Chain A
Amino acid sequence: MLKLARYLKPYTVMLIAAVLLIFVQAMSDLSLPDYMSNIVNQGIQQGGILNAVPVAVRKSEMSKLTLFMNPAEKAEVLKDYNLVDKASADYGKYVKDYPRLAEDAIYVLKNVGTAEINRLNPVLGRAFLAVSGIEKMQAAAKGGVVSFKGMQIPAKTDLFALLARLPEAQRAKLRNEMSSKFSTMGDSMIIQAAAGPVKAEYAALGMNTNKIQTDYIRNTGFVMLLVALLSAVCTVLVGFLSALIAAGFSRDLRKGLFAKVESFSSGEFDQFSTASLITRTTNDITQIQTLAMIMIRMVFYAPIMGVGGVIRALGKSSSMSWIIALAVIVLLGLILVVFSMALPRFKRIQKLVDRLNLIMRENLAGMMVIRAFNAQAFEENRFDQANVDLTRTNLVVNRVMVVMMPAMTIIMNGVSLLIVWVGAHQIANAGMQVGDMMAFMQYAIQIIMAFLMLSIMFIMIPRASVSAQRIGEVLQVEPSIVDPKEPVHFSRKVAGVLELKNVSFRYPGAEEDALKNISFTALPGQTTAIIGATGAGKSTLINLIPRFYDVTEGAILLDGVDVRTVLQHELHEKIGYVPQKGILFSGSIESNLRYADESASDEEIKKAAQIAQAEEFIAQKPEGFASEISQGGGNVSGGQKQRLSIARALVKRPEIYIFDDSFSALDFKTDAALRKALKAETGGSTVLIVAQRISTIMNAEQIIVLEDGRVAGKGTHRELMEHCEAYREIALSQLSKEELA
């Protein structure tokens, strides 16, 4: 997979941007439950009051509060507040916010930072709780008597005035007693508890406490909306970037791969097989493109989300995180078990499907034979066996997979239940607030989802890596046939003398030579034919000339120059090659003929078709030369394809013609007519013909008989009939004696 990383390089910046955006998105998604928790805790429970430091306090109340502070604290608190009364300069401004100002002097909080607020919070919180506690006692007084520190005090007594009169040392003692009582509560609990008295103070100031509460919820909601929007914008941008990256990456990869394969010689094609190369360039790259898009998202989103969720969950309640850990472990365990049960069977299913398809294909291909031998029932039985096997395995796998959904829901629901149960105890011990618990449930779901995505990814990655590997394999290969660094050039006046000098060839990896020590010379104006049984090496020999393969030993010289020392382009210019199977490209008949020479005139095209005996059937088509050729040439017959391939080579007017068994699909009559016309046209050129039929090559100037990769005979038909046993055998199997005479 790393081999492909090079193709990602141009997209590094985009990728980093995408990751950053994913990070923002994940953080936004994770912060939403936080805000919800705030709405519940601070908005609903605390009435929108966030801390124990009121924005304003009546002077009278402040004097009560300061009773419960040590002198240093008192000084600190008073330092942060401005005393405002009717005489103050900004009276007009404050009286609107705090209507009570009209009657009493009040303390207004200066513009202090959060750090200061945090310092004041416990001080003022405790003071508020102490004051409200005493007031509550007074309110709950029974029989007009309050019992306070063992003293029976009449309820109407102003306790605060009493306290104020106490000496400072005694008050300090009292304070210590109280703070030890509060110490069990923790700061956040103190703030929560103080929210009530603070709200009461606001009410006393004439402020609209309902508005404070709804404002808080509204503002929080507004922030949530912004966060949600931010997350959405990030996701869309991530989608945009990942689409660009995935499409661009696969475009570059596809291009790289295609260019690579185009530079391959036939040897590399053999190594991979054409079908496999096609699959790699098409399917595998498409596969990678789709997976890249999804993976850019998931690969980064899932871990960020998972880790972020864990950190936040720990922040809410470290003692409950084990629930999430447990859920994740159970979930991953479930996935592991289910897939370890199902995966090997998936592989088996693939095999069984292949088997089923094979039998069906055999049934279709051999329909005549099957019916001829009355084997229908036998075949039905064979198919049924494969069908039963497939159905059984499918059933098992699917029934295992069906466990996933209910099991996953039960894990999710179980987590919620567990959180509520454990959370209930925490809440009872004042360890957390209800909103935190609710947020925790949301985190749990987000985290579990992230891990679920992660596990899906682990299923996808192997698939992608298989494709990546297959592509990498091709990219890695260096073409075995390349142009020389310092090429030789053919001299201008070329005759077309082809000489094979002790040529041997061995296919890569093969144990034996396919061609052994072959030498002959083909001269211009003459026809050299190569004949032999299948597998004798005829096509192999032909393929060495245009350097589809390179010789293993010896050399092929064209006009005295070794073909390996010239540019392939220059070499191919000289050769008109006609393959065994007529290969045409999609387009028109004309575009196919012009493939040999873009600048050929209409006359030349027509002439070539005429010689190749293609004119007649082209004329029969309503659109003539403009007739469409479909991909693979499916709309022309085999013989027509061969004739068009021959015409294509003729358009090129090369010095050397190579016909690799190019007449096999023609009937005898056309074959004969074509050869006659060719003979007239190719006059000065060197012609090489590979053939199976003796009648095709009987009149060649030189016939090379190949047997098992060696030259078994060389000469004219007559000579060979006399001296060459191998040739005679071939000839006799095709023609009767009197015809050969």
Chain B
Amino acid sequence: MSEERRVPQPRRGPMGGMGHGPGGMIGGGEKARDFRGTMKKLWAYLNVYRTAMAVVVIFAAASAIFSIVGPKILGNVTTHLFEGALSMIAGNSGGIDFGYVGRTILFLVALYFLSALFSYIQGWVMTGVAMKVSYRFRRDISEKINRMPLGYFERTNHGEVLSRVTNDVDTLSQTLNQSLTQIITSVTTVIGVLVMMLSISWLLTLVALVVIPLSMIIVMVIIKWSQKYFKEQQDNLGHVNGHVEEMYGGHVIMKAFNGERKSLEQFDGFNEDLYRVAWKSQFLSGLIMPIMSFVSNLSFVAVSVLGGWLVIRNAMQVGDIQAFIQYVRSFTQPITQLANISNILQQTAASAERVFEFLAEEEEVPDNSEPVRSDGVQGSVEFKHVHFGYDPEKVVINDFSAQVKPGQKVAIVGPTGAGKTTMVKLLMRFYDVNEGAILVDGHDIRDFSRGDLRSKFGMVLQDTWLYNGTIMENIRYGRLGANDEEVVAAAKAAHVDGFVHTLPKGYKMVLNEEASNVSQGQKQLLTIARAILADPKILILDEATSSVDTRTEVQIQKAMDHLMANRTSFIIAHRLSTIRDADLILVMNHGDIVETGHHKELLAKGGFYANLYNSQFEAGAVAEAG
């Protein structure tokens, strides 16, 4: 369902530009911490498009100028009509010169057409730039992700990274699309209209100018005033929505503990609070439009009256009233836009800053420039005085040493949350050790290139990651160059082939987004097939199969056994048989390796392992005693 995914994202209509209503203006938006620096970076990023942007600037300005000249010329026509009409009434000869009127109108048609054409060209080019920029940003982010250390993503919420790719890049491209064009058009229009107005009458211009800043001040005051309510509204909305999420999420608990009344009471409280500020916030933000239209009406009145007065004193022409009305009407919009532009720029900067920040995040230590080749690796692993902590200040693994011969099995055991996957991450160099070294076939793993090293490892984790592709493609992921026969062979070895034929479309069935059209156990089998296809020297396995029915579990077990044959294996073990058969057991607790040895040794030791092992069956002992 797509609606689930829509929840965290602020709704942004497909209309783009229309989204920036008064809400956006009132909200104030967030601000970049370093506006200047970010803008500089953005400018550098955009530098490739400077020719296109120059075109945009020129065409936007030209288009604005052309459309500004129009009303004045049309005003002259009106004046001519007025005078013609007067002389007709007075019965004098003369009247209206249609030749002149026709010529002027044709000229204006041409002018307006050119203006529209330029405006379109400008928009066309700018859209291209904005889209290319967002494409580049997205591509850069996706490539950046692969160069960053895994640790970053374990610290950072995935939603946040995702939001940079979608929301921030979107905002960026949209504001980019608007702001440049708007700045140019607005500035040109304001200056141009001002010049035209002054050329008609300085007195009228003065009146128009007095009215506009007045309205701007009023609007600013209202914005400031309503911002308070707007923020409160958002807060209260957060409370209401939070309560809704919580109560719906814990619906059964609410029911089971008879919490309906309490929940409704709480909701009513939040809802009333929301209502109290919501209408104020809406009313205030809604005031901007009437005020703007009142101001526009005021200008209209002022121009009509003052213009009329000026005309009878022969200080102005009738047509100038008409032109002036048009100018005043086209004056307010660019001014509002200019007032808003700092907001838009701030938004742009804030989004750009987040994206740039991400792109500037620390990357993985580069591979050794003269890497050791991994061909012919046998699979012996040695831990030599390994020290490690996710946080360098907090070392959890202290001076761990162990040797694993090719083909041996290592079981990693420990209670939930003991950090069993840490070993996996160290072996495959998702993290580097702080001190000491891990050696594969006698070479420090840091001497291999990461890709080469990892190609020697196979991994089957409890978290069965598969992607939105066909079953065939998902298995082939183990070795992208494998042909169909090899894939099917791996599938057969992993007991996948059997169930694949019961699925619609077989190997060609596309796994859906949540991969919920195959069962958990089948997913596990698919990841095993994937690892078999990769044919690694060293294997990393997570045995946990708790949510799988018994029959599938047996199959998974068989597939895993097949996979482990003749391979050095690190097993996050859950089954006692595995643990007992292991050549080496690493017992982990609180991130550290607390004990090593094999089963009997450790039991005899009577330490943490023995305790852990016995506690599992303590209950059984109680039952027997009772």
Contact = CB atoms under 8 A, between A and B. Distances in A.
Contact of B301 (A221, A273, A399): A221
Contact of B95 (A238, A399, A428, A736): A428
B248 interface: yes
Interface in B103-132: 105, 108-109, 112-113, 115-117, 119-120, 123-124, 127-128, 130-132
A119 interface: no
A717 B301 contact: no
A373 B16 contact: no
Contact of B321 (A40, A238, A265, A639): A40
Contact of B96 (A136, A417, A428): A428
B321 A287 contact: no
A395 B305 contact: no
30 contacts: A39-B307, A45-B86, A192-B89, A196-B89, A217-B312, A221-B301, A228-B301, A232-B293, A235-B289, A247-B275, A251-B275, A258-B244, A262-B264, A275-B7, A278-B249, A358-B468, A365-B158, A366-B467, A369-B465, A373-B479, A379-B146, A387-B138, A405-B119, A427-B84, A437-B78, A438-B321, A668-B616, A669-B415, A675-B619, A736-B576
Nearest to A254: B271
A623 interface: no
A173 interface: no
A348 B237 CA distance: 31
A316 to B, nearest CB: 15
B257 A279 contact: no
B267 A255 contact: yes
B145 A349 contact: no
Given A217-B305, A371-B428, A421-B105, A434 B82 contact: yes
B11 interface: yes
Contact of B304 (A224, A399, A534, A675): A224
Interface in B9-47: 11, 13-18, 23
Contacts of A357: 5, 162, 165-166
Nearest to A221: B305
Interface SS of A by simple majority: helix
Contacts of A541: none
Contact of B4 (A235, A276, A730): A276
Interface in B275-302: 275, 278-280, 282-283, 286-287, 289-291, 293-294, 297-298, 300-301
A40 B467 CA distance: 73
Interface stretch (B396-404, B450-458, B483-491): B450-458
A717 B623 contact: yes
Nearest to A284: B3
Contacts of B267: 255, 258
Given A368-B461, A376-B146, 13 more contacts: A217-B308, A224-B305, A262-B263, A410-B112, A427-B85, A430-B85, A430-B88, A535-B549, A579-B252, A669-B615, A676-B622, A729-B550, A733-B550
A248 B258 contact: no
Contacts of B116: 406-407, 409-410
A672 B268 contact: no
Contact of B305 (A218, A401, A546): A218
Contacts of B477: 369, 373, 375, 378
Interface string A657-686: 000000011011100100110000000000
Q: Which of A365, A376, A434 has the most CB of B within 10 A?
A: A434
Nearest to A287: B11
A205 B529 CA distance: 112
A692 B547 CA distance: 9
B194 interface: no
B534 to A, nearest CB: 6
Contacts of B392: none
Q: Which of B153, B289, B312 has the most CB of A within 10 A?
A: B312
A406 B123 contact: yes
Nearest to B293: A235
Q: Which of A397, A402, A572, A665 has the most CB of B within 10 A?
A: A402
A364 interface: yes
Given A289-B278, A406-B120, A417-B105, A228 B300 contact: yes
B361 to A, nearest CB: 14
A70 interface: no
B53 interface: no
Contact of A196 (B67, B90, B451): B90
Given A417-B105, A669-B415, A698-B623, A401 B256 contact: no
